[in-house]
Amino acid sequence: MKKTVSAFLDQQAALVPGALVLCAISGGRDSMVLLHLLRELAAERGLRLAAAHFNHQLRPTADRDEAFVRDWCRAREIPFTCGRGDAGTFAKREGLGVEEAARTLRYAFLEAAARDMGAACVATAHHREDNAETVLLNLLRGTGLRGLGGIPPVRGRILRPLLEVGREDIDAYAAS
């Protein structure tokens, strides 16, 4: 899996030594695996790494998730930034579904954090099954050709280095 992520960075990111990679982290298995992988690769490649967490205030465990990620990063000396927003209230005010509202708030925070920190890119932990699910949902919605492409590996400064990685590989990495 490390080779896959490394190859993705070589092909898609063209990061120079000293570049800052901002890893979007929820505290879930996928993003924790990505952060761990990026930590190893950053050390090998001379990159800098930071983590960004957005607290959507949707779940009763949201503050606990935030504290977990903050503490994990602190223990490993990974710079950490956090944002928060009430996705439920935002959804009602803007006439959006909660998932869309959460995504809108999260990506706005990630873009602002990347800009403020001078990050070359933001890495998210979307993986192969997320991509397949997106294609299926787009098909059910009657998408055009663009929607059949699924999640793009790169969109602006957003990178998705796990798109070629399956759930079973992520689970195996986490278990090891």
Residue 133: is its pLDDT beyond 80?
Answer: no
Residue 83 amino acid letter: G
Torsion of CA 84, 20, 11, 132, to 10 degrees: -10
- Under the banding of pLDDT at 50, 70 and 90, the label for residue 139 is very low
| pLDDT (0 to 100) of residue 144 | 54
What pLDDT does 128 receive? 76
In the sheet with 154-155, reading across from the earlier edge strand, the strands are 80-84, 48-55, 20-24, 121-123, 158-159, 154-155
Mean pLDDT of all residues in 24-50: 96
Q: What is the pLDDT of residues 87-128, one digit of tens each?
A: 999 999 999 999 999 999 999 999 999 999 999 999 999 887
> Is 37 exposed, middle or buried, given 0-12, 13-18 or 19+ CB atoms closer than 10 A?
buried
